[in-house]
Amino acid sequence: MSARRESVLREMGLTPLWRQRSRASACAQNELAECSVAREEDCAGSGILVETTAFTPEPRVLEPALVAQATPSACPSIGTDARVARIAGAQWEELEREIRACTACRLCEQRRQAVPGVGDRQGPWMLVGEAPGSEEDRRGEPFVGQAGKLLDAMLAAIGLVRGEGVYIANTVKCRPPLNRTPAADEIAACLPFLERQIRLIQPRILIALGRPAAETLLGMEVRINAARGKEFSYDQIPVVVTYHPAYLLRNPADKCKAWEDLCRARRLMARRD
């Protein structure tokens, strides 16, 4: 394993320095085999090899796949019909001006600046997070703090680079006070922006990072643990539900699950080639 590769996997908490846990069930062993195959087969294209022989993930109940179709207008939009229509027809420059000048909800009152998104506007991968944090609010770019550093490592682990074939956005474009979870009306006010970004990019896959992003894209209540590994779509675009990097910083034991989700996303992309 190269020094760079080992550094990337260490950042994700996926180095070969794992220790076997005391509890293991048949379900956990099946999960280990599945995770190992995904790493060896689906991530081989990125040149990443991960030693898994001494690691047993936490057991979880395997459930049948659930297919949910979500329309682009799953949540109600806040604002006048004219505003929604204007956003729906905007091209990139106009759209970002609309986002930066938006006063449709109370989040505009304390922001330093709105954070439209960043990356490849024609990229096949689109990642959707929750909301800007304090550093994002200061710099005007999503995922630039510690969570952003981890996200970059997650992308590198499957052979992707921020800005190259990947676009990153948030469900809401302004920072909620004290980094609280965005309220339903705040998400609804920003929904036309996210809808338009998706239509302009036309990604081949959407990665929902955390519950607010998943619920916004799918138009339904979501529990991340229950939704992981299931089949969802937004306007016929596959949606993979996984943990937000900020959650993984607080719960590093779940990084292996996030790795499984990324490998599954690569499998879905391979099927669409």
Contact assessment for residue 117 and residue 229, using Cβ atoms and an 8 Å cutoff: no
* Domain spans of the chain, in order of start: 68-272
Contact assessment for residue 253 and residue 218, using Cβ atoms and an 8 Å cutoff: no
The pLDDT value recorded for residue 21 is 38
Spatial CA neighbour of 49 closest among 263, 249, 246: 263
pLDDT digits (tens, 9 = 90+) for 214-246: 999 999 999 999 999 999 999 999 999 999 999
CA dist 71 and 226 (Å) reads 21
Distance from CA of residue 237 to its chain's centroid?
14
What band does 15 get if pLDDT is binned at 50, 70 and 90?
A: low
Q: C-alpha distances in angstroms, 157 versus 122, 126, 262?
A: 22, 16, 9
**pLDDT at residue 177 is higher than 60:** yes
The separation between the first and the last C-alpha atoms of the chain, rounded to the nearest angstrom, is 29
Distance from CA of residue 256 to its chain's centroid?
15
Percent of the chain with pLDDT over 70: 71
The pLDDT value recorded for residue 7 is 53
pTM of this prediction?
A: 0.75
**pLDDT at residue 93 is higher than 60:** yes
CA dist 46 and 48 (Å) reads 6
The pLDDT value recorded for residue 272 is 79
pLDDT digits (tens, 9 = 90+) for 121-155: 999 999 999 999 999 999 999 999 899 999 999 99
138: enclosing H helix or E strand: helix 134-139
What band does 66 get if pLDDT is binned at 50, 70 and 90?
A: very low
Fold of 68-272: Uracil-DNA Glycosylase, subunit E (3.40.470)
Higher pLDDT, 50 or 180: 180
What band does 271 get if pLDDT is binned at 50, 70 and 90?
A: confident
